[in-house]
Structure 1
Amino acid sequence: MSLADSDRELVVSELDREPTRAEAALFENLWSEHCAYRSSRPLLSAFDSEGERVVVGPGDDAAVVALDGETYITLGIESHNHPSYVDPFDGAATGVGGIVRDTLSMGAYPIALADSLYFGEFDDEHSKYLFEGVVEGISHYGNCIGVPTVAGSVDFHTDYEGNPLVNVACVGLTTEERLVTAEAQEPGNKLVLVGNATGRDGLGGASFASEDLAEDAETEDRPAVQVGDPYAEKLLIEANEQLVDEDLIESARDLGAAGLGGASSEMVAKADLGAHIELERVHQREPNMNALEILLAESQERMCYEVEPDNVERVREIAERFDLGCSVIGEVTEGNYVCTFAESESGERETVVDVDASFLGEGAPMNDLESEAPPEPESDLPDAALTDAFDAVISSPNTASKRWVYRQYDHEVGVRTSVGPGDDAAIMAVREAEQGLALSAGGAPNWTDAAPYEGARAVALENATNIAAKGATPLAAVDCLNGGNPEKPDVYGGFTGIVDGLAEMCETLSTPVVGGNVSLYNDSVAGPIPPTPTLAMVGAKDGYDTPPLSVAADSDLLLVGDRGLAADDVRLGGSEYLAQFDGSDRFPALPDDPAALIETLAAVADEDATLAVHDVSHGGLAVALAEMVTADAGLEVSIPGDDPAGTLFHEQPGRALIQTDAPEAVRDAFDGVAPVVELGTATDDGRLVIDAGERTIETDAATIRERRATIDRELA
C-alpha cells in the first residue's frame, strides 16, 4: 500500500508533518475510489433521494424507508467484485456478510437478500468456475445465517471474462424506536468492538478494490480477500437484536472497508467528533500483530458500537452469552481521531494516528475526468430463420431458467416469503404492517453496453415493471454502479450515461434512490466491463396475494405497453436476439408516460378478473410467452405487425402480458396510458402456438422446459 504523491502532499500540508506509516495507509484506503468515490461523487447529485417515506437517505450503512407510521424497512447494496474473481467462494460469501452487517448497524433484522451476478461467456470454463464458486459462496453464507435469498439476476457477457461482478442487496426490518445510525452521539461514550477476533485477512481490501485487476491477481491479491464465518455472523445477528432490544447502542457501524480504522473514524466524523482508541485492546486471533494490521485488517463478523459507560458491562454480558469476543477499545472525544499502540514487551505507548476525523473522511479531492460520449449504434439486422431464432433466444444462458442458481438458496427460511425466486419479483410478508413487500433486483449489460443512458433508463423501468406485475407500486431503490477504469474517457462517458439514465427514470417514477454503492476500476487484461447499473427496488402493496406468472386454461391474453408496435418502429438494440446473431440496432424507445403505466399495471394486476401477469423484457415476447406456458395450460397467439422477428425479440421494457376475464376493463384502464393488443387465448393442452403470418412456431411446455434448462444441464 502506498499513498499517491499528490495525496501525500495534501496530507502533509494539513498535518504540517509527514504522516506516520499507519496514517499513510489509513489515508490511502479511505481516500481510495472504493471509499471516497473520487470519480463518481461529482455525478451522484443527479439522484433524487428524498421522499415522504424516506427516513434515512444516502450516507449511512443502509437507507431507511417507512412502510407505515410504525414499521420501517432498511435497504442496502454493495459489490464484492474483485474479491470474487480472486476467490469466488469467500469473495461472494463475505459480500453477503458485509451487507447483512450494514443492516444490523441500523438496528434492523435482515429479512431478505437479492444477488445480481455477471460473468463472462457461459461456455468458457473459467467463467463457469467463477459462477459455481460465487453461487456456492452466496448460498453457503445466506443459508447458514438464516436469511432467505429471494431475488436477483444472472447475466453472461464476454466483457466480464476478466472481471466478474457480484452485487448483493439486503432488506431489513425495524421500527422508529429501534432505529440506530452510524453517527456518534456523545463524547465520553465508550467504543466497544463485538464479534470475531481480528486477524491479518483482508489487509488493504479497500485499495485493492480501487485498481484494475492484474493478470496475476488470483495469486498475488489473495491476502486482500476476507474469509467469512457465517456461524459467527448468525450469533452476531442475534446478539445485535438483543442489544437493540435493550436500548444499549447509541450508534453502530460494521467493520467493512478499511476495517476498524474505517468504521470508527467514520462514526465520529459524521458528528464532527474525535476518538481515542488503544489498538492493543482489540481482541486478536494472531500473535504479534502490529498497529497497522490491527487498524486496517478487514476480518469479518465484527461491529463497532458506541455505548454509554454504564451499559458497557451489560454489552459484555450479551456478547459472552452469544460466544462473541468483546473489547472496550476506546472512547468518543471532542478532539482528533487518535490511535495509540503499546508494545506488549516494552509497554511503551506510541501514537500511530492523530488526525482530524472529518479531514480523514471527507478530505479526498475529487477527480476531474474527461468524458467521451459513446457512438450511436448502426442498424445491422440479421436474417435468421424465425424458428431457429426462437430456439436460440429461449435457450440462451441469459434468458434460460436460473433454477440451478436459486434452488441452492434457502428462500423460505424466516417464513415471510410469499413469492420466491423465479417470478418477476419476490414478495415478502411484512405482517407487522399487513403489507406485501415486493423486491426486484438486476441489470441488463446488453442494454447498457449498446446504449448506456437509454439502457440504464430501461433497467429502472424494468425493475418497476417487475414490481407492478405483482400488484405493488415502487417505493424506493438502491443502486450499485459498476464501471471500468474511469481515467479512460470512453469508459467514463459510458459510466456517466448510466448514472444520468438511472437517475432520470427513477425520478420520473417518483422512486427515490436512497443509497447505493460505486465500483470502478473493473478492468483487467481482457478490457473494461460494460457500464453496469444494478438496481434493487422495493415496492409495497396491501396484503400478500399476487397474480401468478403462469397462465391458466381459457380467457384472453393481452399485451400492454408495446410502443414499438403502436408506432410501427420496432427496435432491436440490446436484445438477446442480436447478441445471438451478431447484429446491431438502435435501442427501443420507452413509453411516453412510464409512471402512469406502472401505476395502472399495478392496479390491474390486483383486480379479481386478472388471472396472470408477466413482464416482457429480456428475450422479448418470445421468452415471456414461453415462460407462461405450463403442462396444464398453453397459449395460441397471433403476432401483429409486419416484422415478426422484431415483434417477438425486441426488448423494450414497460410491457406486460395480462391474462384476464375482463379484456375490455383492461383496455379502459390503459386508455390514454399505453397501447393494448389482443394476442390470443389460453388453452388446456400445454402447447405454445405462435402464428407469425407466413410462419408458425409450435412447441409444448416439456420441450420449452428442456430447451430452457441450459444451465442445469451443464452444471447439475
Structure 2
Amino acid sequence: MSLADSDRELVEEELGREATPAEAALFENLWSEHCAYRSSRPLLSAFDSEGEQVVVGPGDDAAVVALPNPDTEGYSDTYVTLGIESHNHPSYVDPFDGAATGVGGIVRDTMSMGAYPIALADSLYFGAFDREHSKYLFEGVVEGISHYGNCIGVPTVAGSVDFHADYEGNPLVNVACVGLTDEDRMITAVAQEPGNKLVLVGNATGRDGLGGASFASEDLSEDAETEDRPAVQVGDPYAEKLLIETNEVLVEENLVESARDLGAAGLGGASSELVAKGGLGADLRLEDVHQREPNMNALEILLAESQERMCYEVAPENVERVREVCERFDVGCSVIGEVTDGNYVATFEGETVVDVDAHFLGEGAPMNDLDWEEPTEPERDLPTVDLPEAFEAVVSSPNTASKRWVYRQYDHEVGVRTSVRPGDDAGVVAVREAGVGVAISSGAAPNWTSAAPYEGARAVALENATNLAAKGATPLAAVDCLNGGNPEKPDVYGGFKGIVDGLADMCSDLDVPVVGGNVSLYNDSPSGPIPPTPTLAMVGSTPDYDAPSMAASAEGELLLVGDRVLADPDTEARLGGSEYLRQQGGSDRFPSVPEDASAFVQLLAAVAREDHVEATHDVSDGGLAVALAEMVGEDAGISAQVPEQGGLSEVGEQVGWLFNEASGRALVQTTDPERVREAFSGVAPVVRVGEGQRDPQLDLSVSWTDLSYDVDDIAALRATIENELD
C-alpha cells in the first residue's frame, strides 16, 4: 500500500506535518476509489433519492424505506432496509471466501440500521460458460454464497446469473440484502454525543483482508490469484449468526446509539466514518482491540478487514449490559475508546499514530475529472438462420437456461416468509408485521449494456420493475451496484457514464427513488474491461402475500402486452443486445424503450392481481421464444401463433418478433381478454398470441414452419447448466 504523491501533498498540507505510516495507509484506503468514489461521485447526482416512503437515503450502511399501510393511502411505521455491495476482485482471487464474505458484509450493513435480515438476492456475472476457469469461479462463488447464507439462516430469494466473454478475467459478485425494522428500532451510523463509548463487538481482529479497499480499486493483474490472496477476508458464518442474535438483543434493549459495520478499511474506516457523520471525533486505544494474532502493529489493527465485527456507540451506563449480552452469545467485546468533539485520534501503547480531522479523512478526497467518449451505435447486419436451430440454441443458452442448479443450493425458505421462490420473475416474502408482501428483483443484462450503455441501462431498470409488476407488486425503491472497468480509459468511462444516466433516467420515469448503492470500478484485467454493468435491486409491495404464477394454465387466452413491433407495422424488430445475435452473429441497434413505462408497470401490477388472470410472465432474456418456453409446465402448455398484424410477412421480421429483447413487455394469460385490453387502452398495445392447452407442450406456428416441444423436450433444452456441472 502506498499513498499517491498528489494525495500525500494534500494530506500533509492539511496536517501541517508529515503523515505517520498509519495515517498514510488510512488515507490511502479511505481515499481509494472503492471508498471515496472519486471517479463516480460526480455522476451520481443524476439519481433521484427522495420520496415520501424514504426514511434514510444514500450515505448510511443501508437505506431505510417505509412500507405502505394497507389500511390507508399512506405509509406504516414498519420499515425495510435495502443494501447492495460488490465483492468482485476477492471472488476472482478466492471465489468461495470472496463471495461468502460479500454476503456477510451486506448482512452486517443491514444489522447496523437496527434491522433483522430477511432476504438476500445475488447477481453474478462470469466469463463464457464453455471456459473451464469460468466454471471454476462460478461453482466456487455459488458454494460460498450458499454456505454463508444457509449457515446464518437468511433466505436467498432472487437474483440473476449471466455469462459473457468479457467477464473472463474479472467476474462480478453483487449481493443485496433486505432487512426488517421499524420506527422504534432503527439506528444509523451517525455518532450522537461526546463521552459515549466505542465498543467493538464480534470476532477477534487478525491480519486477513489488509488493504482490501485499495485492492478493490486497482485492475486485476495476471498474478492476482496468488499475489492478492492476503487482501481477501476469510468468513465465519457461525460467528456471524451469533453476531446477528447479539445485535438483535442490543437493538431490542435500546443499548446502541449508533452503529457501523466493519467492512472496507476495517476499524479505521468504520470508526472514523461513524464519528465524521456526527461532526465529531474519537479517541481510540488500539491495544484494547481483542486480537486473534500476536504482535499486531497499529496499522494492522486499524486496517485489517477481519469479518464478523461491528462498531457500536454506547452510552457509558449501558456498557456493562452490552458486555453481558456479548458474553451470553460468546461474542468478543472490547471498549476501544470514546466519542469526542475533537480530532480522530488513535494511540497504540502510548504513542499517537493517527491524529486527523475525521471529516477530512472521510470527505476530503479530491474528485477525478475524467474524459469520456460516446459509445458508437452498430449497423444492422442480421444473419440468415434455420428457425428450429435458432430456437433451440437460444433456449439452451446458459444465459437463458434454467438457473435451478444455482438456487437449489440456497435455503430460500428459512424464516418461513418466502411466498414466491427463486426461479420466477421476482421473489416475494411476507412481511406480516405490516400485512403486506415485499417482492424483490435483482440483476442487469450485459448483452444490453454492451450494445447500448444508456438505453440498455434504461431497459435494465424497466426490466426489474416489470418483474415486480408481473407478480402484482408496485415498485417502492431501489439500490444499485454500478460496475465498470478502468475509468481512466475514455471509452470505458463513457460506457459507465451511459449506464449511470440510463438507470437514473428510467428510475425517475418510474418514480422509483434510488436510495443507496455501491460503485465498483477498475474491473479490468489483462483480458480487457468488463461490460458496463448496472445491477439494480428493486423492491415492491403487494397488498397480500400471494402472486400469480408464471406457469401456463390450460384455460385462457395468452396476450402479449406492450409489444410495439406488433402494434405498429412501421416499427422495426431490433435485435441489438439479444441472446439470438450473440448465438448467431451479426449486429443491430438496441430496441427503443417505451416512453410510458411508469403507467405500464402500474397497470401490469394491478391487472396481475385480478381474479381472471391465470398466469403472468415478463418477456426479457431470449425474447418471446424463451418466455413462452418458460411458461410450459407439467400441468399445461401453450399453443402460440405469429399474429398476422404488424407487417410481419418477411421471415426476418418474424425471427425478430420471436427473439428481440425489447423491454416493457409481459405475457398475461386471462379468461377475460377484453378486460385486459380495456385496462391497457391508451397505454400499451395488447395482442393475442395464443392460448393455453391441456397438453404440456409448446406448439409454435409461424408462416413457414411449425415448432412443437413437449415439457420434457423443453426441460432438456433448459438444463444446460445442470447437465454440465452435476
**Displacement after TM superposition at 1:554 (Å):** 2.2
Give the aligned residue type for 2:636.
Answer: A
Query: SS of 1:69's equivalent?
Result: strand
1:69 Cα offset (Å):
2.0
Q: What's the counterpart of residue 107 of structure 1?
A: 114
CA contact (8 A) 1:457 1:504 kept: yes
Task: Say yes or no: does 1:49 pair with 2:52.
Answer: no
Q: Which residue of 2 aligns with 1:254?
A: 261
Q: Distance in 2 between matches of 1:553 and 1:359?
A: 65
**Residue 430 of structure 2: aligned partner:** 429
- State whether structure 2 residue 281 is matched by structure 1 residue 274: yes
> Larger deviation: 249-258 or 695-704?
695-704
SS in 1 for 2:76: coil
Q: TM-score, normalised by structure 1?
A: 0.99
| Corresponding residue of 1:58 | 58
Task: Give the Cα separation in 2 of the matches to 1:248 and 1:382.
Answer: 66
CA contact (8 A) 2:200 2:312 kept: yes
Partner of 1:39: 39
What letter matches 1:151 in structure 2?
A: A
Mapped pair 1:378 → 2:379: yes
2:711 corresponds to which letter in structure 1?
A
Q: Does 1:693 align with 2:703?
A: yes
| Structure 1 counterpart of 2:182 | 175
Q: Distance in 2 between matches of 1:307 and 1:592?
A: 51
d(CA) in 2 for partners of 1:607, 1:368: 51
Provide the C-alpha distance between the structure 2 equivalents of 1:198 and 1:239, rounded to a whole number of angstroms.
18
Deviations 1:72-100 (A, max 9, x none): 00000000000000000000000000000
Distance in 2 separating the partners of 1:446 and 1:657: 22
- In structure 2, C-alpha distance between the alignment counterparts of 1:565 and 1:531, rounded to whole Å: 31
Q: Which residue of 1 aligns with 2:70?
A: none
Whole-Å separation in 1 of the counterparts to 2:152 and 2:621:
32
Alpha-carbon distance in structure 2 between the residues aligned to 1:317 and 1:506:
46
Q: C-alpha distance in 1, partners of 2:156/2:107?
A: 12
- Of 669, 676, 685, 1:675 maps to 685
Letter in 1 for 2:34: H
> What is the CA-CA distance between 1:680 and the residue it aligns to?
1.2
Partner residue in 2 for 1:585: 588
Displacement, 1:697? 1.2
Number of the residue aligned with 1:190: 197
The separation in 1 between residues aligned to 2:227 and 2:371, in whole angstroms, is 31
For the residues of structure 2 that align with 1:675 and 1:428, how far apart are their CA atoms? 31
Secondary structure at 2:400 match in 1? coil
Partner of 1:650: 660
Shift of 1:351: 0.2
- Matched to 2:398, the amino acid is P
Q: For the residues of structure 1 that align with 2:158 and 2:209, how far apart are their CA atoms?
A: 28
Is 585-594 or 367-376 further displaced after alignment?
585-594
What is the alpha-carbon root mean square deviation over aligned residues?
0.5
Aligned residues: 710
Please state if 1:164 is matched with 2:171.
Answer: yes
**8 Å contact from structure 2 (residues 189, 274) kept in 1:** yes
Partner of 1:569: 572
Specify which of 223, 234, 259 is matched with residue 227 of structure 1. 234
Q: Which amino acid aligns with 2:323?
A: R
Separation of aligned partners in 2, 1:665 and 1:136: 46
Letter in 1 for 2:424: D
Cα deviation 1:127-151 (Å, max 9, x = unaligned): 0000000000000000000000000
- For residue 241 of structure 1, report the CA deviation from its aligned partner: 0.3
CA distance in structure 2 between the partners assigned to 1:631 and 1:45 by the alignment: 49
* Deviation, structure 1 residue 564: 2.3
Residue in structure 2 matched with residue 146 of structure 1 by the alignment: 153
Aligned residues: percent identity?
77
1:493 corresponds in structure 2 to 494
| Contact 1:591-1:674 within 8 A present in 2 as well | no
1:361 paired residue number? 362
Q: Distance in 1 between matches of 2:640 and 2:413?
A: 35
Whole-angstrom distance in 2 between the partners of 1:207 and 1:271: 25
| Residues 3-23 of structure 1: per-residue CA shift (max 9 Å, x gap) | 000000000100011100000
How much does 1:632 deviate?
2.1
Q: Distance in 2 between matches of 1:149 and 1:226?
A: 22
Structure 1 position 132 matched with structure 2 position 133: no
1:527 aligns with 2:537: no
Q: Secondary structure at the match of 1:168?
A: strand
Q: 1:377 and 1:512 mapped to 2: Cα distance?
A: 32
Tell me the residue number matched to 1:345. none
Residues in 2 aligned to 1:166 and 1:242: alpha-carbon distance in whole angstroms: 31
**Map of 2:71 onto structure 1:** none
For the residue of structure 2 that corresponds to 1:179, the secondary structure is coil
Write the mapping of 1:252-331 to structure 2, written as runs, cut at 5 A.
252-331=259-338
Whether 2:622 is the aligned partner of 1:619: answer: yes
One-letter code aligned to 1:581? Q
2:20 aligned with 1:20 = yes
* Counterpart for residue 519 of structure 2: 518
CA distance in 2, matches of 1:190, 1:495: 42
Q: Deviations over 1:490-523 (max 9, x none)?
A: 0000000000000000000000000000000000
- Specify the alignment match of 1:346 in structure 2: none
CA distance in 2 between partners of 1:548 and 1:673 (Å)? 24
Deviates more, 1:555-564 or 1:506-515: 555-564
TM-score by length of 2: 0.97
For 2:464 and 2:138, the matched residues in 1 are separated by: 23
| Structure 2 equivalent of residue 628 of structure 1 | 631
Q: Secondary structure at the match of 1:73?
A: strand
Write the letter of the residue equivalent to 2:87: H
Q: CA deviation at 1:555?
A: 1.4
Structure 2 residue matching 1:70: 3-state secondary structure:
strand
8 A Cα contact 1:563 1:589, kept in partner? no
Q: Which runs of 5+ in 2 are unaligned?
A: 68-74
Q: Separation in 2 of the partners of 1:700 and 1:378? A: 37
For 2:371 and 2:567, the matched residues in 1 are separated by 40
What is the rounded CA distance, in whole Å, between the counterparts of 2:43 and 2:553 in structure 1? 47
**Residue 436 of structure 1 aligns to a residue in which SS?**
strand
**Aligned counterparts of 1:410 and 1:646: Cα–Cα separation in 2:** 39
Please say if residues 437 and 541 of structure 2, whose CA atoms lie closer than 8 Å, have aligned partners that are also in contact: yes
Aligned counterparts, 1:89-108, within 5 A: 89-108=96-115
- Structure 2 distance, partners of 1:256, 1:629, is 44
Letter in 1 for 2:43: L
Does structure 2 retain, via aligned residues, the 8 Å contact 1:275–1:334?
yes
Letter in 1 for 2:124: L
Question: For 2:629 and 2:668, how far apart are their aligned partners in 1?
Answer: 14
CA distance in 2, matches of 1:394, 1:269: 52
Q: Which amino acid aligns with 2:135?
A: K
| Partner SS state of residue 328, structure 1 | strand
Match of 1:714 in 2: 724
AA paired with 1:683?
Answer: Q
**2-structure distance, mates of 1:575, 1:380:** 13
Quote the residue 1:539 is aligned against. 540
Give the residue type in structure 2 aligned to 1:685. D
Question: CA separation in 2, counterparts of 1:360 and 1:680?
Answer: 62
Q: Secondary structure at the match of 1:192?
A: strand
Amino acid at match of 1:540: S
**What letter matches 2:27 in structure 1?**
F
Partners in 1 of 2:510 and 2:334 — Cα distance? 47
Which letter does structure 2 place at the counterpart of 1:531?
A: P
CA distance in 2, matches of 1:173, 1:156: 33
Q: Could you tell me which amino acid in structure 1 is paired with residue 487 of structure 2?
A: P
- One-letter amino acid matched to 2:197: K
CA contact (8 A) 2:76 2:434 kept: no
In 1, Cα distance between equivalents of 2:298 and 2:566 = 65
Structure 1: runs of 5 or more not aligned = 343-348
Residues 566 and 687 in structure 2, CA contact (< 8 A), matched pair in contact too: no
CA displacement at 1:368 relative to structure 2:
0.3
Deviation, 1:232, is: 0.2
Query: Secondary structure of 2:494's match?
Result: helix
1-side partners of 2:517 and 2:680: how far apart?
A: 33
